[in-house]
Amino acid sequence: MTKTIYPGQTIGIIGGGQLGRMMALAAKEAGFKIAVLDPNMESPCGQVSDIQIVAPYNDETALEELAEVSDVITYEFENIDYEGLKRLAEIAYVPQGADLVRITQNRITEKAEIRKAGVPVANYVVATSHIELNAKIDEVGFPCIVKTAFGGYDGKGQVKLHSKADMKQAEPLFEHGACIAEAFVPFTKEISVIVQRNGNGETYCLPVGENIHMDHILHETIVPARVSETVITQATKAAEQIADHLQLVGTLAVEMFVLKDDTLVINELAPRPHNSGHYSIEGSTISQFHQHVRAICGWPLRKPALHQPTVMVNVLGEHVVPLSNVISKYPDWSIHLYGKEEAKTKRKMGHVTILTNDVNKTLDEIKHSGIWSE
């Protein structure tokens, strides 16, 4: 049953990272209180929350404590224990349910559901052992990418195989359980659609973003994506179709490949706000975080529209000091830092958002700032 949650009531968030922090900041604007569960006392979200429960995400007592203090519970990452979330949903109001987490934390169930929604994924096979992979690999052919079914992110837990001679490289992946092997998609662009839906079925997509990765980590998101109108329409339709099929409540990020002939293949899903949607804080009439809060609180959703073309660039550990050194040069850059203590190399520490009337000029400005080396 859909409930309405009002300002003054408490939103509980499982996970205290930057996504939780930005959700919390959006919610606090409307007067909600925030409780967060995270093992780290100094977590990015903990720093801006009213109540902190410092414990592992799957700690039963801590989850019960979160249930007690929260009027609604959401999560900011998908690798939470499904059984634990299911039990939580029995004693607390979890409008997103637990099923979306079960589906998206495993590439095998995720791909099957995307197909059931009538949307294409790359041709793939499932294997529970290296021997099984050897037997099935010809169904996919080469080049292909082998990915662990569970727990991979930012390119971790995957290897690209060019020919049968590379097969051995996939063997260690099976230490983490079943894998999928999927055909390599010769994409021309990577895009993502953030789709958001409330319990009444009201659904909106954020303007489609184009994603540029560096070393498998998101580097830049350019909005609107530099693709044809057909691609934008198809991408939005595909995301809505998946959201509808999954009876989404909350936020789903849909990562897609665009092919030369403008057709689309879905890469993967994330059942939460996404790095490629951070641009929406300044770039859109409603941010992914505000819309997420509206969706889980049973509020009507707002139709998102872009204020201006927008570029978002990620700030990793190695970029923090160089960025701080040039802040005075770029008054148009909106600086976001997540309050993480240690600026480890490759760790996502923050992002910069720039609204622009000349995307190429802005991309050049970023390139020549000396912060992001090629």
Binding residues vs ligand AMP (CB under 6 A) = 122, 145, 152, 155, 182, 184-185, 190, 213, 216, 255, 267-268
Q: Which is nearer to ligand AMP, 100 or 146 (CB)?
A: 146
Q: Which is nearer to ligand AMP, 82 or 187 (CB)?
A: 187
User: CA 221, CA 314: separation in Å to the nearest integer?
Assistant: 9
Which pairing describes strands 124-127 and 217-223: parallel, antiparallel, or unpaired? unpaired
Count other C-beta atoms under 10 Å from residue 370's C-beta. Answer: 10
Q: Which is nearer to ligand AMP, 211 or 291 (CB)?
A: 211
**In the chain, what is the greatest distance between 2 CA atoms, to the nearest angstrom?**
61
- Alpha-carbon dihedral of residues 280, 285, 288, 292, nearest 10 degrees? 170
Q: Which is nearer to ligand AMP, 38 or 110 (CB)?
A: 110
Q: Are 160 and 143 in contact (CB under 8 A)?
A: yes
Q: CB burial class (10 A; 0-12, 13-18, 19+) of residue 79?
A: middle
Q: Which is nearer to ligand AMP, 192 or 284 (CB)?
A: 192
Tell me the closest approach of the beta carbon of residue 280 to ligand AMP, in angstroms: 20
Tell me the closest approach of the beta carbon of residue 246 to ligand AMP, in angstroms: 19
Tell me the closest approach of the beta carbon of residue 156 to ligand AMP, in angstroms: 8
Q: At a CB cut-off of 8 Å and minimum separation 6, what does 237 contact?
A: none
Tell me the closest approach of the beta carbon of residue 22 to ligand AMP, in angstroms: 21
Tell me the closest approach of the beta carbon of residue 26 to ligand AMP, in angstroms: 26
DSSP 150: B
Q: Which tokens sit at 136?
A: 């099935």
Q: Are 338 and 278 in contact (CB under 8 A)?
A: no
Tell me the closest approach of the beta carbon of residue 152 to ligand AMP, in angstroms: 6
Q: Are 317 and 343 in contact (CB under 8 A)?
A: yes
Q: Which is nearer to ligand AMP, 67 or 180 (CB)?
A: 180
User: CA 193, CA 201: separation in Å to the nearest integer?
Assistant: 18
Q: At a CB cut-off of 8 Å and minimum separation 6, what does 358 contact?
A: none
Tell me the closest approach of the beta carbon of residue 185 to ligand AMP, in angstroms: 4
Tell me the closest approach of the beta carbon of residue 216 to ligand AMP, in angstroms: 5
Go through 118-140 and write b for each residue having 16 or more CB atoms within 10 A of its CB, e for each that does not: ebebbebbbbeebeebeeebeeb
Q: Which is nearer to ligand AMP, 117 or 212 (CB)?
A: 212
Tell me the closest approach of the beta carbon of residue 38 to ligand AMP, in angstroms: 24
Crossing angle for the helix pair 107-116 and 229-245, nearest 10 degrees? 110
Q: Which is nearer to ligand AMP, 176 or 216 (CB)?
A: 216
User: CA 319, CA 327: separation in Å to the nearest integer?
Assistant: 12
Residue carrying the six token digits 């003054």: 8
Which helix (H) or strand (E) segment is 337 a member of? Answer: strand 334-337
Q: Which is nearer to ligand AMP, 120 or 155 (CB)?
A: 155
Q: Which is nearer to ligand AMP, 39 or 152 (CB)?
A: 152
Say whether the peptide bond before residue 271 is cis (omega within 30 degrees of 0). Answer: no
Tell me the closest approach of the beta carbon of residue 81 to ligand AMP, in angstroms: 21
